């Protein structure tokens, strides 16, 4: 091939890559637009329905469906007592707390036993999911609905399965030890099960507690965090839950119930095999597997996102912890997507297989790779004189404006519905964040996702730790993920 | 590719940028307008509450002038006043309910108008408020609402009618259970339980009706169990002889576990060996009520059932059948039987 032939081939390649990246960009934002519009439509109707069928009225008629809250904990000695106290104040008529001590090496067990006057209690398992050995079962004398399962260390999913094995109620909740549930959060999620008996899983909103005033395990004053990284995450979570999750729910294809706060139909989850102990994204993996399980058996089912119940969670405030979290989310996403790839573009799975799965597979899972290749190709094109600075600027400007518009739409949805940030200056600050996040934060996210992608390809499996400031009630591993809903997408 | 591509795309990028900027500004503006509207709505509510609250509390306490309170409701505030009264109506009973209904009566025709022309959620809300503040005057309207095109409106009407405890309404709701198929059986059973006080005969007939879908009969059986209707036990035993559906069989067994007697034992015994664990668990639980000393060995054998649920119910049945002899003895055993026995003894 002659010199000009090689140059032509390189140009053609660059052309192709640029078109591919442009297509990715348009498709990705097209989906965001679609979910935002679907969310808008659903959220407009939701408050009216809430007023029509009041939760208390519903519970009074049906009697509350009994729920067991499974709370896995590893080395939570500093916070477990307070976190449990918060759970004990939930306004729900019939619930148990199954606190699972996952082989902690600190004083988690001793503190729980002392604080709640726990004593060994007989309890037969109701399921036989494989878990680390259970060393003992304890029950509180003061709060008979509080149980403690002490087991060998096996990881979060293993601890959740241990809780599931001892669950005796038709529903169970997966709750992070470091999440603060609002008093009526369980009631509001269970509503989804009462209104549609086909519901097998439902999750609520995760919001950022950093900066909020917390008393006795309850958020009493909602404020924006002082830390800029945490502030960005407030906006990210609004976008992820109100635009993303709500939109996917409205489209009939929710693909993730957050591990920080979700309620599940016990028997269905046990039949499906419980939580997968070999993935760092056990919440998404379970949700995807429930879709597969129910479809394979021809069982009518629904998986729902409910926008009003809230779990507050502490988000990372330092770059290192946040990076590790996003790295882990990316790996979890890849594991779930690869494991269930048979669902990809498979009409047997309806909107999940034809819409949500391709989105998460191509745009979220492979997105970091496409973006990285795009950055390189774009840079080469510019350096080789294939594009002017004005053109590059205009393209980046469109990307930034589009990201901003979608973020502002999410803020609008929050204002339309739940209005947790009541101070007008908070609202104005969130507007500012929608602009600021494009100047570094989104790029950092893209970097972490690429890093997670590479780590996964190299066989990385760890969870990573997280430095926490604490809010007086708990600390943990921050699994209230906002992945896959435009949360971590580079502009 | 450079210039041609740029020349082609550049103007579009400009147009797109301008459009997106406009959209972003529009969203910002809309959000601020929403904030302002919400603030205004909150302020209006606070002002209305301040205007009505003291007098309403006086009227409820029997010390105030109802006419004066009604005089404070300006034209155009009727629906807000009804919403305000609804908040109280959910929390009070007896004489206070009667007072609230009397206060609401002059304004209810406005709500009826909303019911006639509103969207499904608005109609449902109107029906709910009419059920709270307009009964029994608006019962005929609510009965018509049972056939509203929206199942949501229909079920809200059914919920409202359940407070009247009229057998005719129990029948009407049962006939429309198919419209509420998505709702959880516990909710539907609760609905029929509330409605069914005084209408147990209608429920028993529905349970015995083989032509009715099994799911609906299971709901009816659960309502009869909630009502602890002793006369329903015979119907449940008869159904067990013919039923194949799991939910219906389990519901009938649970009904027998609540109100069954010794004569129902023959209907229960064959189901102890049913292949479905839910049925075996419910059967052994029922045996604990309808059985006697001669059934201790069956219950004891069920302790070793592969299903933990059956084992647990067997331990409970043993405690019911045998009192304090067999179970404490089993509790000393190691393994699952021992744990089950100790667990039940500790309950």
| Secondary structure letter of residue A147 according to DSSP | E
Q: Do B121 and A48 touch (CB under 8 A)?
A: yes
Per DSSP, the three-state class of A72 is strand
Cβ neighbours, 10 Å, residue B231? 11
Higher model confidence: residue A161 or residue B6? A161
User: Cβ separation of A402 and B38 shorter than 8 Å?
Assistant: no
pLDDT for residue A476: 39
- Shortest distance between the Cα of A339 and any Cα of chain B, in A, equals 31
- The CA–CA distances, whole Å, from B294 to B198, B257, B288 equal 37, 17, 11
In A200-215, which positions are buried (b, 16+ CB within 10 angstroms) versus exposed (e)?
bbbbbbbbbbbbbebe
The answer to whether B190 contacts A57, with C-beta atoms less than 8 Å apart, is no
Q: pLDDT-derived band of residue B214, with 50, 70 and 90 as boundaries? A: very high
Q: Give the chain A residue whose CA is nearest to the CA of B185.
A: A197
Alpha helices in A148-184 (DSSP H): 156-165
Q: Tell me the pLDDT band of A470, cut-offs 50, 70 and 90.
A: low
A2 pLDDT band, cuts 50/70/90, is: low
The encoded tokens of residue B29 equal 């503006």
For the segment A212-221, the average pLDDT, to the nearest whole number, is: 89
Out of B6, B191, B339, whose CB is closest to A387?
A: B6
Taking the CA of residue B65 and the nearest CA in chain A, the distance in Å comes to: 30
**Cβ contacts (< 8 Å) between B17 and chain A: which residues?**
394, 397-398, 401
pLDDT at B10: 78
Q: How far apart are CA B316 and CA A303, in angstroms?
A: 35
A411-468 tens-digit pLDDT: 999 999 889 999 989 999 999 999 999 888 998 999 999 999 999 998 866 655 555 5
| β-pair partners for A137 | A149
Indicate the SS3 state at residue B94: helix
CA distance B36 to chain A (A): 10
Per-residue pLDDT averaged across A183-190, rounded?
A: 93
According to DSSP, residue B264 is labeled G
Q: List the beta strands (DSSP E) in A111-244.
A: 118-120, 134-140, 146-151, 171-175, 179-181, 199-208, 213-215, 218-221
B187 with A15: Cβ contact below 8 A? no
d(CA A126, CA A96): 15
- Comparing alpha-carbon positions, the chain B residue that sits nearest to A429 is B28
Query: Among all residues of chain A, which has the CA nearest to that of B123?
Result: A52
- Residues A224 and A234: beta-carbon distance below 8 Å: yes
Stated as kind and residue range, the H or E segment containing A307 is strand A302-313
pTM of the model: 0.90
CB B124 within 8 A of CB B156: yes
Contact B2 A408 (CB under 8 A): no
pLDDT band at B243 (very low <50, low <70, confident <90, very high): confident
Cβ pairs A/B, distance under 8 A: 138
Q: Report the distance separating Cα B25 and Cα A404, nearest Å.
A: 10
For A177, list phi and psi in degrees, rounded to 5: -65, -20
How buried is A37 (Cβ within 10 angstroms: 0-12 exposed, 13-18 middle, 19+ buried)?
middle
Q: What is the mean pLDDT of chain A?
A: 89
Tell me the C-alpha distance between B316 and A125, whole Å.
16
Contact B179, B190 (CB under 8 A): no
Q: What is the DSSP letter of A316?
A: P
Chain A residues with CB under 8 Å of B20 CB are 398, 401-402, 404-405
Which among B14, B31, B312 has CB closest to A412?
Answer: B31
- Give yes or no for a contact between A186 and A90, defined as CB atoms under 8 angstroms apart: yes
Q: What distances in angstroms separate CA A406 from CA A234, A271, A299, B34, one per listed residue?
A: 14, 39, 36, 17
Whether A473 shows a pLDDT value over 70: the answer reads no
B249 CA: distance to closest CA in chain A (Å): 18
Instruction: Give the SS3 label for residue B247.
Output: helix
CB contact under 8 A, A409 and B27: yes
B6 and A391 in contact by Cβ < 8 A?
Answer: yes
Q: Which parts of A106-145 are beta strand (E)?
A: 118-120, 134-140
Residue A63 zone, left/alpha/beta (φ > 0; ψ -120 to 50; rest): left
Region A287-291 average pLDDT: 97
By Cβ distance, the residue of A57, A168, A391 closest to B10 is: A391
The answer to whether ipTM exceeds 0.90 is no
The closest alpha carbon to A164, from A70, A39, A300, belongs to A70
The alpha-carbon gap from A277 to the nearest alpha carbon of chain B, in Å, equals 24
pLDDT tens digits, one per residue of B30-89: 999 999 999 999 999 999 999 898 899 999 888 888 888 888 888 889 999 999 999 898
Contacts of B9 in chain A (CB under 8 A): 391
Distance from CA of A66 to the nearest CA of B (A): 11
Q: Distance from CA of residue B28 to its chain's centroid?
A: 41
* Chain-chain contact of B34 with A196 (C-beta, under 8 angstroms): no
- Is cis: bond before A108, omega within 30 of 0? no
Q: Taking CB atoms and an 8 Å limit, are A126 and B152 in contact across chains?
A: no
Cα A33 to the center of its chain, rounded Å: 20
Interface contact flag, B182 A198, Cβ < 8 Å: yes
């Amino acid at each position: 091939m002659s010199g000009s032939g090689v140059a032509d081939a390189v140009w053609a390649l660059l052309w192709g890559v640029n078109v591919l990246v442009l297509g990715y960009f348009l498709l990705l934002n097209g989906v965001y637009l679609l979910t935002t519009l679907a969310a808008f439509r659903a959220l407009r109707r939701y408050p009216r329905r809430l007023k029509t069928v009041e939760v208390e009225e519903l519970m009074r008629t049906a009697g509350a469906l009994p729920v067991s809250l499974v709370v896995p904990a590893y080395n939570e000695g500093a916070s477990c007592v307070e976190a449990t106290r918060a759970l004990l104040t939930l306004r729900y008529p019939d619930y148990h707390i199954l606190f699972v001590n996952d082989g902690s090496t600190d004083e988690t067990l001793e503190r729980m036993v002392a604080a709640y006057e726990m004593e060994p209690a007989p309890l037969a398992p109701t399921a036989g999911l494989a878990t680390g050995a259970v060393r003992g079962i304890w029950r509180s004398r003061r709060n008979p609905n509080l149980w403690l399962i002490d087991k060998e260390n096996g990881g979060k999913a293993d601890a959740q399965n241990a809780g599931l094995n001892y669950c005796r109620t038709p529903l169970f909740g997966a709750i992070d030890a470091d999440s603060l549930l609002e008093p009526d959060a369980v009631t509001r999620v269970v509503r989804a099960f009462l209104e549609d008996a086909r519901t097998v899983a439902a999750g609520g909103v995760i919001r950022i507690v950093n900066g909020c005033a917390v008393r006795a395990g309850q958020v009493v004053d909602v404020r924006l965090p002082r830390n800029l990284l945490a502030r960005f995450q407030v906006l990210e979570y609004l976008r992820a839950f109100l635009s993303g999750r709500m939109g996917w729910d409205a489209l009939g294809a929710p693909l993730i119930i957050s591990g920080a706060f979700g309620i599940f139909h016990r028997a269905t989850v046990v039949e499906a095999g419980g939580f997968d102990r070999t993935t760092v994204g056990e919440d998404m993996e379970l949700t995807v597997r429930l879709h597969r399980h129910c479809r394979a058996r021809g069982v009518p089912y629904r998986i729902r996102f409910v926008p009003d119940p809230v779990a507050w969670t502490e988000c990372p405030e330092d770059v290192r912890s946040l990076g590790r979290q996003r790295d882990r989310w990316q790996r979890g996403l890849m594991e779930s997507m690869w494991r269930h790839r048979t669902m990809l573009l498979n009409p047997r799975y309806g909107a999940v297989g034809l819409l949500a799965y391709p989105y998460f597979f191509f745009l979220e899972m492979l997105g970091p790779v496409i973006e990285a290749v795009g950055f390189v190709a774009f840079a080469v094109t510019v350096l080789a004189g294939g594009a002017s600075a004005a053109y590059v600027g205009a393209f980046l400007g469109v990307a930034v404006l589009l990201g901003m518009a979608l973020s502002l739409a999410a803020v609008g949805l929050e204002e339309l519905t739940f209005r947790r940030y009541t101070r007008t200056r908070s609202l104005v600050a969130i507007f500012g964040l929608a602009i600021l996040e494009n100047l570094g934060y989104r790029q950092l996210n893209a970097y972490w996702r690429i890093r997670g992608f590479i780590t996964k390809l190299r066989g990385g499996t760890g969870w990573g730790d997280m430095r926490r400031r604490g809010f007086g009630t708990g600390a943990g591993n921050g699994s209230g993920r906002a992945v896959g809903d435009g949360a971590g997408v580079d502009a | 590719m450079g210039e041609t591509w740029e020349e082609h795309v550049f103007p579009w990028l400009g147009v797109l940028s301008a459009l997106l900027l406009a959209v972003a500004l529009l969203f910002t503006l809309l959000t601020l307008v929403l904030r302002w509207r919400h603030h205004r709505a909150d302020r209006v509510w606070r002002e209305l509450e301040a205007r009505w609250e003291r007098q309403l509390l006086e009227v409820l306490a029997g010390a105030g002038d109802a006419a004066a309170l009604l005089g404070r409701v300006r034209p155009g505030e009727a629906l807000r006043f009804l919403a305000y009264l609804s908040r109280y109506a959910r929390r009070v009973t007896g004489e206070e309910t009667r007072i609230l209904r009397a206060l609401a009566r002059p304004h209810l025709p406005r709500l009826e108008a909303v019911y006639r022309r509103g969207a499904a959620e608005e109609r449902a809300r109107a029906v709910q408020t009419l059920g709270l503040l307009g009964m029994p005057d608006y019962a005929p309207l609510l009965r018509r609402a049972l056939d509203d095109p929206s199942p949501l409106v229909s079920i809200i009407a059914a919920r409202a009618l359940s407070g009247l405890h009229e057998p005719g309404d129990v029948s009407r709701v049962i006939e429309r259970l198919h419209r509420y198929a998505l709702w959880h059986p516990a909710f539907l059973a609760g609905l029929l339980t509330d409605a069914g006080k005084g209408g147990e005969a209608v429920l028993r007939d529905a349970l015995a009706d083989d032509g009715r879908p099994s799911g609906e009969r299971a709901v009816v059986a659960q309502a009869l169990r909630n009502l602890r209707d002793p006369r329903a036990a015979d119907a449940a035993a008869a159904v067990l002889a013919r039923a194949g559906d799991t939910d219906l069989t389990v519901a009938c067994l649970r009904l027998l576990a609540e109100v069954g007697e010794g004569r129902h034992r023959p209907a229960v015994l064959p189901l102890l060996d049913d292949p479905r664990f839910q049925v075996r668990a419910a059967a052994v639980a029922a045996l604990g009520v309808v059985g006697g000393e001669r059934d201790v060995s069956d219950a004891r054998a069920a302790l070793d059932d592969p299903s933990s649920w059956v084992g647990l119910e067997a331990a409970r049945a043993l405690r019911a059948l045998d009192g304090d002899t067999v179970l404490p003895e089993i509790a000393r055993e190691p393994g699952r039987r021992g744990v089950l026995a100790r667990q039940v003894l500790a309950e």
